[in-house]
Amino acid sequence: MKQAAVIKSMQASTNSKIEAQGEQLGQILRLIVATAQIANQKAKKLWLENIKEVIVESDLAQKYSFKPIPYNVEAIIGEYDAPEKQEQGLVKYNLLQDGNTLIYGNNGAEREMFF
């Protein structure tokens, strides 16, 4: 069991006036950050990196270590982000299992970029 170390102690107020040090929440946050630095503790990231605005198939294959399976006609068509699950992954389309597909869109570059 890890032994806790006392980093800073405080006593209850004795009704003495203390000089204002700014907003209480900000001060509490600074104290927490300073205490974490002294204890050499770091928090995990709360969310994953944003997905890039322009996605290149070869970059996705490398990022997710995608290995094509022989005779399995599967195309990488994008990347998804599910922040509620803290998850990102490949959007793949299997031409043999998923059958025919119609791709449509407005006049513009998005549809052409997809192809």
**Does the pLDDT at position 69 exceed 80?**
yes
**Does the pLDDT at position 115 exceed 60?**
no
Encode pLDDT of 33-51 as tens digits: 888 889 888 877 778 888 8
Residue-by-residue DSSP string for the chain: -PPP----------S------S-HHHHHHHHHHHHHHHTT--PPPSSPPPPPSS--HHHHHHHTT--PPTT--EEEEEEEEEGGGTEEEEEEEEHHHH--------SSHHHHHH-
Of 14-23, 88-97, 102-111, the range with the highest mean pLDDT is 88-97
Encode pLDDT of 1-41 as tens digits: 556 665 666 565 666 666 655 678 888 888 888 888 898 88
* Residue 90 pLDDT: 92
- pTM for this one? 0.50
